[in-house]
Chains A and B, each alone.
Chain A
Amino acid sequence: MNAENRCIGLSGVSKSVAGATADAPRLQIVEDISLEVKFGEAVVISGESGSGKTTLLGLMAGLDSADSGRIELLGERIDRMDEEQRAAVRRGQVGFVFQSFHLVRGADALQNVLLPMELAALPDAAERARDSLQRVGLSGRLETPVERLSGGEQQRVAIARAYALRPRILFADEPTGNLDRRTGEQIIDLMFALRDDTGAALVLVTHEQRLAERGDRQLWLEQGRFDG
């Protein structure tokens, strides 16, 4: 894969946390992971609970720092950066969809979508936010406080929030975990449609095999290492 087409690059990345007992002072969560993701590619990371999926996603997105190894995000070496610098890399270029939605309570759907664009000082923010909410089928709920929306609708707002940025990468952590099967499928459809529209890379963490099969590439994580 040439460097220009590379969206994320991991090389020999490891992460451990403090262990619970004196016998095992450190607990290895992710061990010697190497991975490359290119723009437009949908990579699905699966694994059992505790396999390190979420930690790996956090390392790739710069939400967490590694103990060792090299991490490149959008052409920048983020493993050498501090929290502030990593946030600057993400700003306006990276979208997130979380299992628990993580919307700002009290604010309405439009305000939630506007939030990251305002932080990134993007132009035409209001117009893009409205388009984005229309794209996810919520044009009629723009000014509804998010806590009055159903779980599926809240996740749509979260997708619209990510979509409005026209991100170069979309990270999704168990995006259907709190939704019923039918709503979950709609959400996945939306995310893939967003990927198709923007040409962004999609990194999806899920433990549902059915969703994993929709990725361009499936990776199975077991005890912090890729299996096979």
Chain B
Amino acid sequence: MNAELRRLLVPRLSGAWLLALALVITVSIVTASQLFTDRIGRMLDRQAAELLAADLLVVSSEPLPDSWTALARAHGLKTAATVSLRSAIFVDDAPQLVELKAVSRDYPLRGRLEIRDRPLDPARPVAQGPTVGELWVDDKLAALLGDRIELGEARLPVTRLIAFEPDRGGSLFNLAPRVMMALEDLDATGLIVPSSRARYRLLVAGEAAALRAFRSVIEPLLREGQQIQGLDNARPELRRTLERTRTFFALATLLTLVIAMIAIALTAAQAAAREQTMVAVMRSFGISGRRLLRHQLVQLFKLWLWAVPPGLLLGWLAQFPLQGLLGAWFGLRLPEATVLPYAQAALVAAIALLGFSLPPLLRLLDTPPSQVLRALPQPPSLRARLLRGISLLALFAIIWLMLGQALQAAVLLLVILLIAGLMPLVLRAPLRLLLRYGGGRFWLRAYLYSRLLAPGRHALTVVTGFSITLMALLLLTQVKDALLEDWALQLPKDRPNYFLVNIPPERSAELESWLADRGISASPAYPLVRARLTAIDGVPVSELRLQGNEAHRLVNHVFNLSWSETLPPDNAVTAGTWSPDQGFSVEQGMAEELGIGLGDRLQFSVGGEVFEAPVRSIRSVLWENFRPNFYVLAPRGLLQTLPRTALLSARVTHEQQAQLQPLLQRFPGVLLLDVSELMDRILGIIDRASLSLQFFLAFALLAGLLVLLSVLFGSRADRAREMALLRALGASGRHLRAAQLGELLLMGLMAGLFAALLAQLIGAVVSVRLFDLSPSFSPALWLTGALAGVVMVSLPGWLFLRHGLRIRPMRLLRG
């Protein structure tokens, strides 16, 4: 680069490269974390979408207008359609209830169907469903393979067995065996009549923005009996997992960003401090403040120009290890990211650079040059405090930008400020006591006292910064562990893999003991009555003022009412008392959505018969545990007179599989649903989510190291001078090592312990408020905090500083 070009492009700021490095890393952290959140979020959505067979469903009890399909296509979305209804076929001259599903050519849009050509063949994936003129049935109807069966007025051959259907299992307990056909054949069956209660589904998949646009157009057009199902409201067993993973990503991104901001604030302050002599000299020569400010702004702009592209590139590259990891593991490619993360990162860098560089600069322009040149302390002033407000505003703007919510950003900023303001004060007292009156070498204590507590060194601010960094890491670990533990609890090793449904109630006790005799662990048999909610406290549901899709879905839902003498596993009463014979027990989420409270009278209807009872308890339900779970548990007396079946879940080991055939012979009519395939898929999603969480943790760790290195870098001149002084006064290498290590160990220990304290306090709040987990005191957290602090500060610190031990004391004479 020629001299003129260099003058034009290269920023003239002392130590600019250090600030540039902090900026590069900040930009890459923001870019990468945003890309991760963006892409992992979309990958999780896609995985979950495979269980919906689409990204979005429009479900209706009557045929959907063709114009809606055209509208989806006009938005650039792929579409498919299904119609499902219950019907009956004859097997060995006995009627058999089946779930008939007619699918269009493009079904499924997400996930894949898997079929077998013969029973016991390995399953193989296929790109689309049955073609015109054939039927596929699930394994339970394997005996029909090759037969032509009558389905209404049509007679079609069974050509394949369905091994896996992505969107099966929305209502696990109601499944009759599946019969699948091409949509084109449906009319010929003559099964679609007004009383057939068919469900029409329009499946839609595509880009998130197009989906949002489509949804916003369709939603106002929905009538009663029609609803939109997305990932957010479709599958209760997945919903909580996805929501928590997203919340965790948001938390991780934000905390990583806070760490990055600490790094940039520290390096910007250091860069400004290095500039102060030059600015004072220029002021002495009569250069105006305005001109100097302009000069500095130009230099900052050049710095930004230099730092942003490599930062974006690094951030972009950082996603490949993740892609490699996930891709190799799961054979998946992450979806492409949008341009937004890059723009956000560049903007964050600009705000941070200005926000943290301007205040010290403006303050410097306010200070008489003689004060700077004679290194006199600058007295605190109101204006100086006001100038610091610029940094706060910048920080607020950045958090706001990332969070998208002003109030949350303000609360978070307040918490950070409170910690940053109080912590040096809290740290000072024990450190002072230890160094003044503790044991050990006096010279070492005096040296450490000077390094850590001397005014103007801001060592405690640095420890605070690092402590917040560590706290963020501990918090992420703690929350991650709590989440994983929670998931692990939900999915115990002995989780059920079969549901037995359609059990005649009079034979449920016999079935229970039959299973027990064969060592098959099973849940109790729950009675099952299908009922519609008709009124709450005398108000018909059609007159309720409902808000949100979920509420609409619930009132249109056909509930499986059950009864249980004891509170089912993983249920907890959150309000009222468990009194199964005196009224309803309602699931907490449903109660919140529909505004149901204790004492409210719920009215249900079963085939025209209406009954009602008061609500006696509200329950939390762990939907993800794959056991029979119910929105509403009813008094036994209400259900006994109504038509009902029973269901139970069971854990059938590989060795016990041979017992299934005798079971079906002994209890004809009982349907056996194998849910292990579905569970494996859901477990896969949880695995992926936890892997992503760990990856995030590594990223936050990197940001923490940057903070430490920038701190050590910033203090290297001071440190070198002191090492040289100790050397000149006769300190041995051992003395120098003791001084450096002592400082690093003490800093690490203090940062680690206070980080543990903060993580414990904040973790309790976060666990309860964001993740619905119980807070817990964790001695391991304190030990981890202390150890992590010591190792994370000492190890890189030592590697970085040990060269300084070779300092020549001649430096002292050279000034």
Residues of B close to A93: CB separation below 8 A: 730
Binary interface profile of A, 40-76, with partner B (CB < 8 Å = 1, else 0)? 0000000000000011011001011000000000000
Complex Cα–Cα for A102 and B809 (A): 12
Binary per-residue interface labels of chain B (718-742) against chain A in the complex, 1 for a CB within 8 Å, 0 otherwise: 0001100111111111010000000
Looking at the complex, which of A4-12, A104-112, A185-193, A206-214 is the stretch in contact with chain B?
Answer: A104-112
Could you say which of A84, A96, A106, A107 contacts B729, with CB atoms under 8 Å apart? A96
Report the Cα distance A223→B8, complex, angstroms: 40
Indicate with 1 or 0, residue by residue over B440-465, a CB within 8 angstroms of chain A CB atoms.
01111011011101111100000000
Cβ of B446: which chain A residues have Cβ within 8 Å of it? 104, 107, 111-112, 114-115, 118
Instruction: For residue A107, give the distance in angstroms from its CB to the closest CB of chain B.
Output: 4
Say yes or no: B443 contacts A98, CB within 8 Å: no
Chain A 87-102 residues near chain B, CB threshold 8 A: 87-88, 90-94, 96, 98-100, 102
B383, CB-defined interface residue at 8 Å: no
- Residues of B781-813 at the interface with A, using a CB-CB cut-off of 8 Å, are 806, 808-810, 812-813
Residue of A nearest to B444 (CB): A118
Contact B813 A173 (CB under 8 A): yes
Check A120 for interface membership: any CB of B closer than 8 A.
yes
Any A CB within 8 A of the CB of B815: yes
Find out whether the CB atom of A116 lies under 8 angstroms from the CB atom of B729. yes
User: When chains A and B are docked, how far (Å) is the Cα of A151 from the Cα of B608?
Assistant: 99
Task: Kindly state the separation between the CA atoms of A116 and B441 in the bound complex, as whole angstroms.
Answer: 12
Q: Which residues of B contact A57 (CB under 8 A)?
A: 813
A96–B728 contact, CB under 8 A? yes
Does B6 touch A at the CB level, under 8 Å?
Answer: no
Q: Assess the A106–B815 pair: CB atoms within 8 A.
A: no
**What CA separation (Å) do A122 and B456 show in the bound complex?**
32
What are the interface flags for B372-392 relative to A under an 8 Å C-beta threshold, 1 for contact and 0 otherwise?
000000000000000000000
Contacts of B447 in A (CB 8 A): 104, 107, 115
Check if B545 is an interface residue, CB within 8 A of chain A: no
At the interface, yes or no: A222 with Cβ under 8 Å from chain B? no
Task: Decide: B731 and A58 in contact? CB cutoff 8 A.
Answer: no
Q: Is B654 an interface residue (CB 8 A)?
A: no
Distance between Cα atoms of A114 and B367 in the complex (Å): 37
Minimum Cβ distance to chain A for residue B478 (Å): 35
Bound-complex Cα distance A100 to B763 (A): 49
Contact indicator A87/B449 (Cβ below 8 Å) = no
Point out the residue from A84, A94, A102, A111 that lies within 8 Å of B449, measured CB to CB.
Answer: A111
How many residues does chain A have at the interface if contact means C-beta atoms less than 8 Å apart? 38
Nearest B residue (CB) for A117: B443
- Could you tell me the distance between the alpha carbons of A63 and B722 in the complex, rounded to whole angstroms? 14
The one of B451, B455, B729 in contact with A115, judged by C-beta atoms closer than 8 angstroms, is B729
Is B814 in contact with chain A by the CB < 8 A criterion? Answer: yes
A119 at the interface (CB under 8 A from B): yes
Q: How far is the CA of A94 from the CA of B729 in the complex (A)?
A: 8
Q: Are B454 and A105 in contact (CB under 8 A)?
A: yes
CA distance A107 to B452 in the complex (A): 10
Query: A106 and B451: CB pair below 8 A?
Result: yes
Give the chain B neighbours of A111 by CB distance below 8 A. Answer: 442, 446, 449-450
Inter-chain contact total with CB atoms closer than 8 Å:
108
In the complex, the answer to whether A84 meets B733 with C-beta atoms within 8 Å is yes
CB distance from B31 to the nearest CB of A (A): 40
Would you call A131 an interface residue if the criterion is a C-beta within 8 Å of the partner chain's C-beta atoms?
no
B453 touches A106 (CB 8 A): yes
Q: In whole angstroms, what is the CA distance A147 to B453 when docked?
A: 13
Within 8 A of B (CB), among A139-162: 145, 147, 161
Distance in angstroms between the alpha carbons of A61 and B810 in the assembled complex: 9
Q: Is A32 an interface residue (CB 8 A)?
A: no
Q: Is B732 in contact with A87, judged by CB distance below 8 angstroms?
A: yes
- Bound Cα distance from A93 to B730, whole angstroms: 9
Compute how far the CA of A13 lies from the CA of B441 in the bound complex, rounded to whole angstroms: 39
Q: Are B728 and A83 in contact (CB under 8 A)?
A: no
Residues of A with C-beta under 8 A to B444: 118
Chain A residues lying within 8 Å of B732, measured Cβ to Cβ, are 84, 87-88, 91, 119
Are the CB atoms of B812 and A105 closer together than 8 Å?
Answer: no
Chain B residue nearest to A162 in the complex (CB): B729
B455 touching A106, Cβ below 8 Å: yes
Residues of A within 8 Å of B443, CB to CB, are: 114-115, 118-119
Contact residue among B441, B442, B453, B721 (Cβ-Cβ distance under 8 Å from A102) = B721
A116 to B813, CA, bound (A): 18
Q: Does A116 contact B730, Cβ atoms closer than 8 Å? A: yes
Contact B730 A145 (CB under 8 A): no
A87, B814: Cβ atoms closer than 8 Å? no
Question: By the criterion CB–CB under 8 Å, are A104 and B725 in contact?
Answer: yes
In the complex, what residues of A have CB within 8 A of residue B457's CB? Answer: 105-106
Contact indicator A63/B456 (Cβ below 8 Å): no
Report how far A106 CA is from B432 CA in the complex, Å: 12
Residues of B within 8 A of A112 (CB): 446
Q: Are A104 and B813 in contact (CB under 8 A)?
A: no
Cβ of B728 and Cβ of A63 under 8 Å apart? yes
Q: Please determine whether A105 and B810 come into contact, CB atoms closer than 8 angstroms.
A: no
Which residue in B730, B806, B812, B813 is a CB contact (below 8 Å) of A91?
B730
Q: A107-B446, A114-B442, A115-B447 are in contact. Are A63 and B809 (CB under 8 A)?
A: yes
Take A63-B812, A83-B806, A115-B443 as given contacts and tell me if A105 and B728 are in contact as well, using a CB distance cutoff of 8 Å: no
Knowing A83-B806, A145-B454, the reply to whether A119 touches B730 (Cβ < 8 A) is: yes
Report the Cα distance A93→B727, complex, angstroms: 13
Q: Which residue of A lies closest to B808 (CB)?
A: A64
Closest to A85 in B: B732
A100, closest chain B residue (CB): B815
Q: Which of B444, B456, B808, B812 has the most CB of A within 10 A?
A: B812
Let me know if A118 and B442 touch, CB within 8 A.
Answer: yes
Task: Give the shortest distance, in Å, between B740 (CB) and chain A (any CB).
Answer: 14
Taking CB atoms and an 8 Å cut-off, the chain B residues in 693-738 that contact chain A are 721-722, 725-733, 735
- Which of A90, A104, A112: most chain B Cβ within 10 A? A104
Shortest distance between the CB of A211 and any CB in chain B (Å): 18
Q: Nearest CB to that of B814 among chain A residues?
A: A54
Complex partner residue of B454 from A61, A99, A106, CB under 8 angstroms: A106
User: Shortest CB–CB separation between residue B809 and chain A, in angstroms?
Assistant: 4
Considering the chains assembled together, what is the distance between the CA atoms of A64 and B814 in angstroms?
Answer: 11
Chain A nearest Cβ from B434, distance in angstroms: 15
Instruction: Contact check, B731 vs A119: say whether CB atoms are below 8 A apart.
Output: yes
Interface pair A87/B725, CB less than 8 Å apart: no
Chain B residues whose C-beta falls within 8 Å of the C-beta of A100 in the assembled complex: 815
A119-B726 contact, Cβ under 8 Å, with A102-B721, A107-B446, A114-B446: yes
State the Cβ distance, B735 to closest chain A Cβ, in Å: 6
**Distance from A67 Cβ to chain B, minimum over Cβ atoms (Å):** 14
Cα–Cα distance between A93 and B808 once the two chains are bound (Å):
19
Q: Are B454 and A98 in contact (CB under 8 A)?
A: no
With A and B bound together, what is the CA distance between A91 and B733 in angstroms? 12
- In the complex, how many angstroms separate the beta carbon of B714 from the nearest chain A beta carbon? 16
* A83 contact from B450, B453, B726, B808, Cβ within 8 A: B808
Residues of chain A within 8 A (CB-CB) of B450 are 104-107, 111
Residue contact B442 to A120, C-beta cutoff 8 Å: no
Distance, CA A141 to CA B814, complexed state (A):
29
Closest to B454 in A: A106
B379 to chain A, nearest CB (A): 15
Residues of B within 8 A of A83 (CB): 727, 806, 808
B459 — nearest CB in chain A belongs to which residue? A106
Measured CA separation A57–B446 after assembly (Å): 28
- Interchain Cβ contacts under 8 Å between A and B, 12 examples: A54-B814, A63-B727, A83-B808, A88-B730, A94-B730, A96-B812, A102-B721, A106-B451, A106-B457, A107-B446, A118-B442, A119-B732
In the complex, besides A91-B729, A105-B457, 16 extra interface pairs with C-beta distance below 8 angstroms are A63-B727, A63-B810, A64-B809, A83-B806, A87-B731, A90-B729, A94-B730, A98-B813, A99-B815, A102-B725, A102-B812, A105-B456, A106-B453, A107-B447, A112-B446, A119-B729
Q: Which residues of A are in contact with B by a Cβ distance under 8 Å?
A: 54-55, 57-58, 61, 63-64, 83-84, 87-88, 90-94, 96, 98-100, 102, 104-107, 111-112, 114-116, 118-120, 125, 145, 147, 161, 173
- 8 residue pairs, one from A and one from B, having the closest CB atoms: A106-B454, A91-B730, A118-B443, A106-B450, A111-B446, A116-B729, A64-B810, A63-B809
